Amino acid sequence: MRAAAIFVAFFLLFTCASIAVPVPMFPGNMISALLKIPPSGYARYFEAVTNGLMYGFITWIVFFLINKRIDKAFSPNSNGLHEKKKEI
């Protein structure tokens, strides 16, 4: 559930940032060029949603991998936790 909240938060953040900043960002500007979308009022929003999806997904993947590594380090079957208990 936390991963979904992370994705939604960063999707909204990057989508709004792409709309607010008039500088074309990768990959939104590349996707609209490849699909040959004419530079109308809607192309800007298409690029913003594309950027939001891409960067939200990347952030979600990073969060998922870090969360998985932390859970593995603190699981009872992990050697890292048992070694720390032996030291104490």
- Whole-angstrom CA distances from 20 to 16, 25, 58, 66 are 6, 12, 21, 30
pLDDT at 87 over 80: no
Q: How is residue 38 annotated by DSSP?
A: -
53-77 per-position pLDDT tens digit: 999 999 999 999 998 888 888 877 7
- Domain map of the chain by residue range? 2-87
Question: What local confidence, expressed as pLDDT, does residue 88 receive?
Answer: 60
- Write down the pTM of the prediction: 0.71
Average pLDDT of span 28-43: 78
- Provide the mean pLDDT of the chain: 81
Q: Minimal CA–CA distance to 48: which of 22, 16, 23?
A: 16
CA distance 70 to 29: 36
